[in-house]
Structure 1
Amino acid sequence: MKVRIGVGLGPHEDFVEAIDHAEEIGIDSIWFSEVVFAEHVDPFIGMAYALSRTQNMKVGTGVAVLPGRNPILVAKQLASLAALAPKRVLPVFGLQPARKPERQAFPVPHGKRGELFDETMQVIRRLLTEDAVTFNGTFHTLENASIRPRPRRMDIWLAGTARPGLERTGRLADGWLGSFLTPAQSRLAKRTIEAAAAAAGREIEADHYGVSIAVATDGIPPALLDAARARQPEVDPREVIPQGWDQARDLIEEYIDAGLTKFVVRQVDPAARVRPFLDDFAAKLMPLERDIPDPV
């Protein structure tokens, strides 16, 4: 298994510099979040732009919303990116925006978001693997739909921390990216996903489990504390939001002990210059990347 650590980009004015510098210093991957009502770059546009400026670095969505999107267009976008940059595209999808006002950008019939998610995933999978797709579902109807060029393989990861989302990951996904979970909670989440996958006759690769981590290098903003408490009321936010690089390093090691190997580190302060953050990341966290034995 391979421990790999990427960086989630926020609404930085030095966006281009961040991509170029991340490639220059050998960062594994750059991730783009779905934040509509803020100065964040659209994740699919961000991935395409980053791929156009780099040769080695991978790109991912951390996380993009799936329900409310047209599955044909999503499949076409993923296939196009994979054709232009093979093995460098890492899509991660979630159920809905974290910010409630942004949910209007992804219209979904009331009470049907989970059902729509499942059907949309099914359609995307078929479009990425079959020559032509005819499908009659509750939400989507396709007749002889075909996507070219089709990637040889496109792993799709899911986010989510609630039990239904974890079970959905086991049934439908190739990997999982959690957030705001303690290492102990992450271990239990991984077991839930594994059990759901086994019940569906599937298996997720052992090193396809990860977590997104917000690193606070200058204190934790009150808004982030509130967001963490809303997600995990029973957990002290300081257990999952490291303050400084030493805490971040220790927390990642705990996650590795819990069975996770993929990490997305996010900068908490959007006003801070990103280049020093990337340099500190490279010095403090990139040395943690390594190969570790597969679980017995």
Structure 2
Amino acid sequence: MKVRIGVGSVPERAARPDRPDLGALVADAEAHGIDSVWFSDLVSAPDTLDPLVAVAHAAAVTTRLKLGMGVLVLPGRNPALVAAQLASLTALAPGRVLPVFGVRPARRPDRTMYPVPAGRRAAVFEEALKVVRALLTQRVVTHHGQFFHLEEASVPRPTRALDLWLSGRVPVALDRIGRLGDGWLGSNIGPPEAEACRARIVLAAERANRTIDEDHYGMYLTVVQPDTDSAAVDALLTRLRQDRPDVPDPRTLLCWGWSDARAQLRRYIDTGLSKFVIRPAGPVTSRQAFLEEFTAILKPLESEA
């Protein structure tokens, strides 16, 4: 099982919000031999870029780095246009584009920006995902569903299959991943729960007569460093309490320093997960220092596992 560890956005404390330094981030990541950089779909969050735009720019200034969109909200987007965008990105960066789709925005202020019929978000998601997959794998697609209608539509098909990963945590989402997804990228889930989630996805896939590759299960992990701004940590813990009210202590969902991150990664690997995205809890003092510590402490796990 191939363990691969990428990074999310690594904003620097001194960076100007009106001048994104995406090019420097991906260049630094590639120079350190990091597997991938991931971009979140957070419309209203400060200092963020649209993930599709960010992947396009990053693909133009790197040659080996993999580029992930996690998690790209699908309901509320036109799936035919999403398929065309993914096809274009894959043509520009073959084998380097990693899409992960989600049902709803992570941030509450973003939820009105992806309009769908009331109470139908999950149904829209499933039909949209089927449309995206059909357009990426078939020469011509005619589709007449509840929400989308295409007549002899087509996009340039990728020369190699594009895996479509999904996110989610609740049982219905895990069952959907088994039925429709090519992989799973979770977040805000501890190792024991992650093991149970993985088992449920495997069972759902078996019921649907499908197989998901054993190394297509992953997790976002957030690292709190000693110099992380306390206000950023407090805000993060507040969001975790809202997202996971069932977890008695949301601090257990974070990694408290690099040693804890390494220990937690080992626990996730033992549960059968092998793909990881590491992100800081807030802006860092030095991105170079963050990437150097990542490379020295976490990257060796890729060859040790």
TM-score computed with the length of structure 2 as normaliser: 0.92
Q: Secondary structure at the match of 2:125?
A: helix
Q: Distance in 2 between matches of 1:207 and 1:56?
A: 20
**Aligned-pair distance for 1:291?**
6.9
Matches within 5 A, 1:143-292: 143-218=151-226, 221-235=233-247, 236-270=249-283, 272-290=285-303, 292=305
Contact 2:22 2:54 in 1 (8 A): no
Contact 2:73 2:104 in 1 (8 A): yes
Contact 1:92 1:177 in 2 (8 A): yes
Unaligned runs of 5+ in 1: none
Unaligned runs of 5+ in 2: 16-20
Shift >4 Å, 4+ stretches: none
Matched, 1:127 2:128: no
Q: Distance in 2 between matches of 1:129 and 1:291?
A: 36
Q: Distance in 2 between matches of 1:132 and 1:196?
A: 29
1:16 to 1, 11, 23: 23
- CA 206–239 in structure 1, closer or farther in 2 if over 3 Å, else same: same
Q: Secondary structure at the match of 2:169?
A: coil
- Over residues 195-224 of structure 1, what are the superposed CA-to-partner deviations in whole Å (9 max), with x where a residue is unaligned? 111111111000100000011113561111
- Over residues 47-74 of structure 1, what are the superposed CA-to-partner deviations in whole Å (9 max), with x where a residue is unaligned? 1111111111100012110101111110
TM-score computed with the length of structure 1 as normaliser: 0.95
**Aligned-pair distance for 1:230?**
2.2
Number of aligned residue pairs: give it. 292
1:61 to 44, 69, 73: 69
**Aligned-pair distance for 1:232?**
2.3
**Aligned-pair distance for 1:162?**
1.0
Q: Distance in 2 between matches of 1:120 and 1:10?
A: 31
Kindly report the root-mean-square deviation, in angstroms, between the aligned alpha carbons of the 2 structures: 1.4
- Over residues 216-252 of structure 1, what are the superposed CA-to-partner deviations in whole Å (9 max), with x where a residue is unaligned? 1135611111222222223222222011000000000
Contact 1:128 1:151 in 2 (8 A): no
Q: Distance in 1 between matches of 2:116 and 2:244?
A: 25
**Aligned-pair distance for 1:121?**
0.5
Contact 2:284 2:290 in 1 (8 A): no
Q: Distance in 2 between matches of 1:74 and 1:291?
A: 37
Q: Secondary structure at the match of 2:142?
A: strand
Q: Secondary structure at the match of 1:93?
A: strand
Contact 1:18 1:275 in 2 (8 A): no
Contact 2:11 2:282 in 1 (8 A): no
What amino acid is the match of 1:275?
Q
**Aligned-pair distance for 1:88?**
0.6
What amino acid is the match of 2:41?
E
**Aligned-pair distance for 1:280?**
1.2
Contact 1:65 1:94 in 2 (8 A): yes
What amino acid is the match of 1:70?
N
Q: Distance in 2 between matches of 1:258 and 1:141?
A: 41
Q: Distance in 2 between matches of 1:286 and 1:53?
A: 23
What amino acid is the match of 1:121?
L
Contact 2:27 2:62 in 1 (8 A): yes
Q: Distance in 2 between matches of 1:8 and 1:190?
A: 22
- Over residues 60-96 of structure 1, what are the superposed CA-to-partner deviations in whole Å (9 max), with x where a residue is unaligned? 0121101011111100111111111111110001111
**Aligned-pair distance for 1:271?**
5.3
What amino acid is the match of 1:107?
P
- CA 282–113 in structure 1, closer or farther in 2 if over 3 Å, else same: same
What amino acid is the match of 1:259?
G
**Aligned-pair distance for 1:164?**
1.1
What amino acid is the match of 1:141?
H
**Aligned-pair distance for 1:16?**
2.2
Matched residue, 2:146: 138
What amino acid is the match of 1:232?
R
